[in-house]
Structure 1
């Protein structure tokens, strides 16, 4: 369940995504460090905020979907692309006033 708490949207910067990735890399010793293509990160962030080729995600949920999809598909990092994408989307929701309510079963799965 997602609960909306704010009106204006905050968008992550390239620095924010890199910081999230760095946190993940430091948490998992078997994760390889490195950015393969910084431009892919810039494209994703520009797309969710402004759109591209005449299309633009409208809702925060569409934006979060494309944030995850494009960070995973474009593979801008050497490793931890999916974890970085998911964590960036969670931060995107959180800093835009959304909170996730997990029941005990989901908390167990996420551990």
Structure 2
């Protein structure tokens, strides 16, 4: 399993802000770091999020709800999650409207982690990673 790094998420956020607008910058580095490391969490030697889609859901959930950036949190959360899935052999292919609706529902806590994982799985396609 390959996890996203702080550097990758910061890079993605910068690119997203440049392309779509908003204020650049990190509001809380600790919350950003916590969100990035959540997918790898374990307890008693067992992964808390045992599948790639639960790990991806933990990432998008934490980045969205932690609001670590000054602006563009949902956009960065989606970008980082798409990247995480891609480097782990899955291409996220949702329609734009579905992304917005899902992220807004997630932000309002209308979706739990399992529902987000199921949505990510439904909108992903397996692909070779080239490794």
Task: Give the structure-2-normalised TM-score.
Answer: 0.65
| Pairing of 1:1-111 with structure 2 (within 5 A) | 9-29=1-21, 31-51=22-42, 56-100=48-92, 106=95
Higher strand share: 2
Contact kept, 8 Å, 2:82 with 2:91, in 1: the verdict is no
* Structure 2 unpaired stretches of 5+: 100-131
In 2, the alpha carbon distance for the partners of 1:35 and 1:76 equals 6
Q: CA deviation at 1:55?
A: 6.8
Provide the residue aligned with 2:106 in structure 1. Answer: none
Q: How many residues align?
A: 98
Residue segments in structure 1 that go unaligned for 5+ positions in a row: 1-8
Name the Cα RMSD after superposition. 2.4
Given the two structures, how large is their TM-score scaled by the length of structure 1? 0.76
Q: Tell me, in whole angstroms, the C-alpha distance in 2 between the residues paired with 1:18 and 1:74.
A: 15
Assess if the C-alpha contact under 8 Å between 2:26 and 2:69 holds in 1. Answer: yes
- Runs (4+) of structure 1 exceeding 3 A deviation are 51-55, 106-110
